[in-house]
Amino acid sequence: MSNFGLFVRFTLRDGAGEAFDELMRETTAGIQAHEPGTLVYACHQVEGAPNERIFYELYADLEAFEEHERQPHTLRFLAERSKHVEKTEVDRLQPYTGKHPTGVEA
């Protein structure tokens, strides 16, 4: 299995945290219901940095990520996030070792 991951840091506009977090809860519900190839989709608030959000995403493979990008809930998130986000930083990850939720080695 060739997992594919992302590490994403969003810097939110002042006062946008609550609206962004609600958008994320809606998006995550769609991911949980419709994306078996999305192994981990974890959203984090950053202690001491109220305008920062960190995402760790792990997909079964690149194809599962591409399927995620085509989903209606993801397309809505991508269209709506600019209202709330000032800056986005994305690192594409290629896991090579560790413990994964599937129990399969990277």
Q: What is the mean pLDDT of residues 22-41?
A: 96
Q: d(Cα 15, Cα 51) in Å, to the nearest integer?
A: 8
> What class, spelled out in words, does domain 4-93 have in CATH?
alpha beta
73-96 pLDDT tens trace: 999 999 999 999 999 999 999 888
pLDDT band at 104 (very low <50, low <70, confident <90, very high): low
Q: What is the pLDDT of residues 3-21, one digit of tens each?
A: 899 999 999 999 999 999 9
DSSP helix/strand/coil, 37: coil
Encoding tokens for residue 100?
């994964």
Q: Judge residue 29's burial from the number of C-beta atoms within 10 Å of its C-beta, 0-12 exposed, 13-18 middle, 19 or more buried.
A: exposed
Report percent pLDDT > 70 for the chain.
92
Domain ranges of the chain: 4-93
Within 10 Å of residue 59's Cβ, how many Cβ atoms?
22
Q: What whole-number distance in Å separates Cα of residue 95 and Cα of residue 75?
A: 26
